[in-house]
Amino acid sequence: MGRSPLTAIGVAVSWLTVAPVPSPRMDMDRRTGGAAITAVPLVGALLGGIAAAAAYGLSFTALPDLLVGVLLVALLALMTRGMHVDGLADTADGLGCYGDELRVREVMRSGDVGPFGAATLAVVLGAQAVAFGALSADERWWDIVFAVALARVAAVYVCRAGLPPANSNGFGALVAGTQRWSILVWTVVAAAAAWPLGVRALCAVAAVAVLSYAFSTHCRRRMGGIAGDVIGAAVELSTVLALIVLLL
């Protein structure tokens, strides 16, 4: 069965959100996985739009800015089944342990949240909450959409050609190394979307690209390739980085 753009978007939405979208009937192979990753930034735009709409609605309440930010972080985690948050914790624990590639992969697949994972979640999600609250207070709704969508471009960068999967099975095995021309396309699209928002948004695009490449290269060195958790971690780290740059 061919992978049309609409089919790729449907797969990405069904995989990465709680939206009640039926998964297309097709083999979940690398071709499907690559098409879905190419469509992930569109899913990010959808999630960002929902988050911005929620922030706009909450602006009519008397809730403190920080609480608004916390609610937005919780909403995004809920809409994505907490997969990216889980990936961030698992990746932090894996990279924080001593040992060879096998040991890193074992820690990441254990399912437990260790001290590195807990500390990383506290810092990253706390920073996201403060930043979302600040953008909401300034009524910068489009900046919220942009930050959430840009963070999903990081998934495309992490799955670039040349980076092998860390494991022979799992999500990483389906998507690692599948992205080629889509990297250039999404970089141009991200820059075009950033242009109306100003210099800080353009700097955010550059910062996310550098972070994604450096982080995924380090993960390959430590665990031998890219796992699904690494993609989730890159999304969460890119979200907080984009928000920070937008607030500078």
| DSSP secondary structure letters along 80-111 | TTTHHHHHHHHHHHHHHS-S-HHHHHHHHTS-
pLDDT at 244: 97
Structure tokens at 116: 């590195």
The pLDDT, as a whole number, for residue 23 is 64
Q: Which residues, in sequence order, are CB contacts of 110 under 8 Å at separation 6+?
A: 93
Start-to-end Cα distance in the chain? 47
Supply φ then ψ for residue 230, to 5 degrees.
-65, -40
Q: How many CB atoms lie within 10 A of CB 199?
A: 11
Quote the tokens at residue 94: 């894996």
**The predicted structure's pLDDT at residue 20:** 77
Q: Which of 43, 41, 11 is nearest to 183 (CA)?
A: 41
Global confidence as pTM: 0.92
Phi/psi of residue 97, nearest 5 degrees: -90, 160
Ranges in the chain, pLDDT < 70: 1-4, 22-27
The pLDDT of residue 219 is 92
Give the whole-angstrom CA distance, residue 64 versus residue 225: 42
At 110 the pLDDT is: 78
DSSP secondary structure, 179-231, as one string:
BSHHHHHHHHHHHHHHGGG-HHHHHHHHHHHHHHHHHHHHHHHHHSSB-HHHH
User: How large is the C-alpha radius of gyration of the chain?
Assistant: 17
What's the confidence (pLDDT) of residue 209? 96
The span from the CA of 197 to the CA of 157, in Å, is 22
